Amino acid sequence: MDSLKFSAAVSRALLRKPDGIGMLGEKSLHSALKYYYEPDETKHEIAFEGFFADIMNEDGITEIQTGSLFSLNRKLETFLEKCPVTVVHPIVGERRLIYMDTETGELKKPRLSPKRGRVEDAFRGLIHIRRFLSHPGLMIVVPIVDADEYRYKTGERKRRRAPNVVKYELVPRELKEEWVFAAKDDWSRFVPPGLLEKPDGFTVKECALALSRPEDETRLMLGCALAAGALRRERDGRAFAYFKEET
């Protein structure tokens, strides 16, 4: 992780020309991450095997996905047959909300969103590409980025509901963490060691209690670890018992 390099990438993204390479309809977070992972614009938006790769260089292909990962399935199926692929799936950590007056352009005082993103939130998206998580050519990178979210209100009301809010732009401020999933053990690092060492395995409920996380989120995390080959599971009555897979 390189904070200075990330700051420079954000600056390039914000100063980019509308007709620059690969900039059509591109948002600031996606653009900043593209400059961060590959500063050379000539290696952006490369046509390959019927698709466009966000980055293609001597290390392979890098796909940056700020939204749903489901749409990557066809690309991964094609790209992984030809070269290594890195999927970058950012999570917004601290989010400052900034409202804009649409008539004057005035920006209101920023306020912090009570929601804070964590690396565990990435599993909600990664589960959609679980069939590729055990592929030796795939690496997952989850950057945790603090950002400013610019919003404005349309003034339209539906009965007694509050005015509709439009999320205009998400501008990254700082790279706080960077999590890499490349080896099997990377996928089981969030499971408490005491559970991994249990000879009779552990359940989703036990893991959720130990992590103080909801069971549905814990199930997604364990599902990804299972798909990556870091865990195995066995039927134990009405539930499943999870065990650490030997490397």
Reported as a single tens digit per residue, the pLDDT across 128-164 is: 999 999 999 999 999 999 999 988 887 665 555 566 8
End residue of a domain, out of 151, 182, 213: 182
Average pLDDT of the segment spanning 39-50: 96
Same domain, 15 and 130: yes
Average pLDDT of the segment spanning 68-92: 96
Same domain, 170 and 53: yes
Spatial separation of the C-alpha atoms in residues 244 and 187, rounded to whole Å: 10
Same domain, 152 and 196: no
> Buried b vs exposed e over 11-47: b needs ≥16 C-beta within 10 Å?
ebbeebeeeeebbeebebbbbbbbbbbbeeeebbbee
pLDDT digit string (tens) for 47-70? Answer: 999 999 999 999 999 999 998 899
Q: Please give the tally of structural domains in the chain.
A: 2
Q: Whole domain around residue 90: which residue ranges?
A: 3-182
Same domain, 132 and 224: no
Spatial separation of the C-alpha atoms in residues 41 and 38, rounded to whole Å: 7
Which pLDDT score, from 0 to 100, does residue 144 have?
97
Spatial separation of the C-alpha atoms in residues 74 and 53, rounded to whole Å: 12
Does the structure show a pLDDT above 70 at 19? no
End residue of a domain, out of 133, 156, 182: 182
Please, are residues 243 and 232 in contact by the beta-carbon 8 Å criterion?
yes
Same domain, 34 and 128: yes
Same domain, 157 and 193: no
Spatial separation of the C-alpha atoms in residues 37 and 85, rounded to whole Å: 13
Which pLDDT score, from 0 to 100, does residue 155 have?
67
Which pLDDT score, from 0 to 100, does residue 101 have?
82
Mention every residue, 6+ apart, whose C-beta is less than 8 A from residue 21. Answer: 41, 42, 44, 45
Partner residues linked to 47 by β-bridges: 52
- Nearest 5°: CA angle at 207, between 201 and 213? 170
Confidence of residue 87 (pLDDT cuts 50, 70, 90): very high
Same domain, 113 and 173: yes
Instruction: Please give the residue that has the higher pLDDT: either 6 or 156.
Output: 6
Nearest Cα neighbor of 89 from 141, 47, 139, 156 is 141
Q: What is the pTM of this model?
A: 0.89
pLDDT digit string (tens) for 158-216? Answer: 555 566 888 878 899 999 999 999 999 999 999 999 999 999 999 999 999 999 999 99
Same domain, 134 and 84: yes
Spatial separation of the C-alpha atoms in residues 213 and 227, rounded to whole Å: 20
Task: Tally DSSP H helices, then E strands, for the chain.
Answer: 8, 10
